[in-house]
């Protein structure tokens, strides 16, 4: 396994992200990762707040137009995250916080898909959402919060786990 991770680090992508002296390397990938995450989490929070009834003046039905932005943000986040992980694969791919973050992202993505199906892909989209839709919205916001926290803690995993 370690040989594979070291090989990943030596790929052209890993070398570019890690060693590029320009803003296109690590800083560019980190910026893209942050931008992608904001395109996912920002609209998800707006939708969640509206569904939970905290912003009743915002009409619900037009919020469906935010989903394509969230999926584009998700794609940007995944692609840039792969680059960041490959650049330091022997360290990052053994990181339990990163692995936790990936599981949380999986759950958040599934939750987002169910939320769209449950609330927005119905012919009778109304201004009031049922209990299941509210649970999906609350859990979506909670999951993305946990993903964001985990992302920030990745750099500190050795101190956290006293490795």
From the list 144, 152, 115, 133, the residue with the least C-alpha distance to 42 is 144
Domain ranges for the chain, please list them. Answer: 2-160
From the list 112, 120, 101, 119, the residue with the least C-alpha distance to 43 is 112
From the list 28, 147, 39, 129, the residue with the least C-alpha distance to 84 is 28
Tell how far CA 133 is from the center of its chain.
Answer: 20
For the entire predicted model, the pTM comes to 0.87
Give residue-wise pLDDT tens across range 135-160: 999 999 999 999 999 999 998 988 88
Using 50, 70 and 90 to split pLDDT, how confident is the model at 163? low
């Amino acid at each position: 396994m370690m040989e594979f991770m070291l090989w990943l680090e030596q790929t052209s992508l890993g070398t570019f992200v890690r060693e590029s002296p320009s803003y296109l390397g690590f800083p560019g990938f980190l910026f893209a990762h942050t931008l992608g995450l904001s395109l996912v989490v920002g609209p998800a929070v707006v939708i969640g707040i509206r569904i939970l009834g905290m912003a009743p003046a915002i009409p619900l039905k037009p919020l469906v137009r935010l989903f394509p932005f969230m999926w584009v943000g998700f794609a940007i986040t995944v692609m840039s995250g792969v680059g960041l992980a490959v650049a330091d694969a022997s360290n990052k791919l053994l990181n339990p916080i990163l692995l936790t973050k990936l599981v949380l992202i999986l759950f958040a993505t599934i939750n987002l898909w169910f939320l769209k199906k449950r609330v927005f892909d119905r012919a009778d989209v109304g201004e009031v959402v049922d209990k299941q839709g509210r649970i999906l919205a609350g859990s979506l916001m909670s999951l993305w919060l946990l993903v964001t926290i985990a992302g920030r803690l990745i750099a500190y995993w050795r101190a956290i786990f006293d490795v």
